[in-house]
Amino acid sequence: MFWVKKPRLLVLLMLQAVAFFFFFQYLYGPRHCPGLAEKSGPMHVLILSSWRSGSSFVGQLFSQHPDVFYLMEPAWHVWVSLSSGNAGQLQMAVRDLIRSVFLCDMTVFDAYMDQGPKTLSKLFQWETSRALCSPPSCHLFKREVIISPDDCRILCAKEPFNIMEETCKSYSHVVIKEVRFFNLEALYPLLRDPSLNLHIIHLIRDPRATFRSRQRTGLELARDSHVVMGRLWDKLKNENRPYHVMKIICQSQNEIYKAAKLLPDSLRKRYLLIRYEDLVHDPLTQTSKLYGFAGLPFLPHLQTWVHNITQGKGMGGHAFKTNSRNAQNVSQAWRWSLPYNEVVRLQNICRDSMNQMGYLPVLSEQDQRNLSLNLLSPLGIP
Ligand SMILES: *[C@@H]1O[C@H](CO)[C@@H](O)[C@H](O)[C@H]1NC(C)=O
Ligand SMILES: *[C@@H]1O[C@H](CO)[C@@H](O)[C@H](O)[C@H]1NC(C)=O
Ligand SMILES: *[C@@H]1O[C@H](CO)[C@@H](O)[C@H](O)[C@H]1NC(C)=O
């Protein structure tokens, strides 16, 4: 009879409709659309460090990765243009510049550069960015190979400055190395900024090694040291200035580390502390950790390259000047080249931060020179 069959048909049709709905949901629903399910926008990584702490080396680890657009110390332009200010006064300008660069808005440099025709070479240390040495910036190299900054400086310097924006936008990762932050608080707004996906790699180094390395590059760093010290610069004797700069650096690195430990869980995941000494002790493992944190694959040619540059092997005559020596030996150089009395003075100045970060003091000159004595203690990573 019809009146019995009809409702059955109706139920059947309804069931079918419901089934179809779920089937389509399954096929095209949010779960299967990666763009909706997870954050698919670019990843932003800030390598936060201080001068002579191995940050150029870590910067290169990222710069040479074919998924990364990298800039080294873009805030140099802020400090040079506004050098009458001290580090604290310039901090907000530095932060705004970093934010713009992460978003590939390179017009921010206009404020800090001369008028007139602009080429890539106007940018501080532009040649350390493999991305600026390969398409679409420069067509003389391929994107997926290791590019030597020396070669790039010669071949790509004439490219127009505004190619940088297009280049930046063609990458999934934007990485900036910066040494001009002295606390983490200045970066909170960027960590919470929904238009950014900021991750921070905080790179530290034994202050005794940093100090020795700074001594050997004294003049180049003088202008920066002046900005770091502000008015104190004129009040201190020449021979005391390097120690005072180290005091500020040790304190600020320690403050950053302590502030990071206090971040809420959701933000603490976006902070990674790494000691330069651990990196050179086991470069492949530590690099793999850094890439993992940034969501980058450790490609085979990068593994060979990292092995090569940390073992002091050349790269077919194109070795990086600062990175191709036996990295671990270099990281210990302060132990035989710094006088013991300077080491003692530094250990007093930087006691708190050394303590926090697991750098053990030497208690005699004999201990300082004895390279079998390990001066690293394990780190309580936040
Ligand atoms: C690593 O070093 C070897 C031997 O010097 C060289 O043949 C090779 O091209 C290097 N590889 C990379 C990726 O640097
Ligand atoms: C480390 O470098 C020093 C000074 O250049 C040298 O005397 C020493 O033999 C090197 N040690 C190793 C293990 O390479
Ligand atoms: C150097 O340090 C090692 C490890 O602590 C120790 O066994 C050795 O006796 C020390 N050598 C000297 C000459 O102090």
What's the pLDDT tens digit per position in 152-167? 999 999 999 999 999 9
Ligand nearest to the CA of 367: 3
372 C-beta closer than 6 A to ligand 3: yes
Ligand 1 probe mutation, 287, 304, 318, most atoms within 8 A of CB: 304
Q: How many CB atoms lie within 10 A of CB 270?
A: 18
The token duo for 25 is: 């949901």
**Percentage of residues of the chain with pLDDT beyond 90:** 71
Lowest mean pLDDT among 24-28, 171-175, 319-323, 376-380: 319-323
User: Does 20 score more than 70 pLDDT?
Assistant: no
Which pLDDT value is given to residue 357?
94
Lowest mean pLDDT among 124-138, 185-199, 221-235, 245-259: 221-235
Spatial separation of the C-alpha atoms in residues 293 and 285, rounded to whole Å:
12
Ligand 2 probe mutation, 281, 325, 329, 334, most atoms within 8 A of CB: 329
Phi and psi at 44, nearest 5°, equal -115, 125
Of the candidates 107, 90, 102, 92, the one whose C-alpha atom is nearest the C-alpha of residue 46 is 102
What are 293-337's pLDDT values in tens digits? 999 999 999 999 998 888 765 433 333 344 445 666 777 889 999
Ligand 1 centre distance from Cα of residue 205 (Å): 28
User: Does 84 score more than 90 pLDDT?
Assistant: no
The token duo for 353 is: 């931060």
Which pLDDT value is given to residue 136?
97
Which pLDDT value is given to residue 120?
92
Q: 290-293: long-range contacts (C-beta < 8 A, 24 or more apart)? A: 290/58, 290/61, 290/62, 290/201, 291/61, 291/65, 293/199, 293/201
